[in-house]
Structure 1
């Protein structure tokens, strides 16, 4: 079972956005960052999740059970309901990745439990400022 934590940090809303991904597998941590030139925080959260799931596919394959943790209520609710009015394009792109895995369990966590991904998102943001 792989644990995936993602987060986004934006300067301005919209503005430059850093993406942070923390993967934990067999007691090993893998850190991934990315950036978007301009996004609001919600679009950043979807982009961070896509980055994380793409990383898992590229490095671990699809035959995995993934515990996906996010501090974004919008993202976790959208995935849980498989419905959104405002982020349908982002949900469709994310589902194309999620649906390749054996099982994905999405859990919302408070900010204080997502420090690793949060730190990586801010680190990526500082690199583009």
Structure 2
């Protein structure tokens, strides 16, 4: 079983986005900070969630017998996954659902930002790094 926490950060003035991924398995943490192509916060949240699941696929050779507890502080990501629909973000929803599909079970839980601090901190660090490069 994996616990996956994701968060995105976007600088509205520049359109730069970055994300953080925190994966916990057997009391071991994997932390990733990634620049994103998305230019709005909502699309960045979908993108980093998809990238989180893509990374999980590299960590297990048997996703069909793997459970993932997915935590996000993005209400739109959480709601859209539950409904399998988002009016303005359906392509992003479909991409996220497709990368979740190989797993036996994915339980999505919305959490307040204060309970997603690990991924939030990673996302902000990645955004600051991207701003320094630009």
TM-score in same-fold range (> 0.5)? yes
1:97 to 96, 99, 107: 99
Give the conservation status (yes or no) of the 8 Å contact 1:13–1:40: no
The gaps in structure 1 that reach 5 residues or longer are none
Q: After the TM superposition, list the runs of 4 or more consecutive aligned residues in structure 1 that deviate by more than 6 angstroms.
A: none
Identify the range of structure 1 (59-68 vs 114-123) with the bigger mean alpha-carbon deviation: 59-68
Give the TM-score of the pair, scaled to structure 2: 0.92
Give the conservation status (yes or no) of the 8 Å contact 1:13–1:41: no
SS in 1 for 2:86: coil
Compute the RMSD of aligned alpha carbons.
1.2
**Distance in 1 (alpha carbons) for counterparts of 2:14 and 2:104:** 35
**Distance in 1 (alpha carbons) for counterparts of 2:91 and 2:38:** 17
2:108 to 106, 109, 112: 106
Give the TM-score of the pair, scaled to structure 1: 0.95
Q: Which residue of structure 1 lines up, in the alignment, with residue 88 of structure 2?
A: 86
What is the total number of aligned residue pairs between the two structures? Answer: 129
Identify the range of structure 1 (56-65 vs 16-25) with the bigger mean alpha-carbon deviation: 56-65
Give the conservation status (yes or no) of the 8 Å contact 1:22–1:30: yes
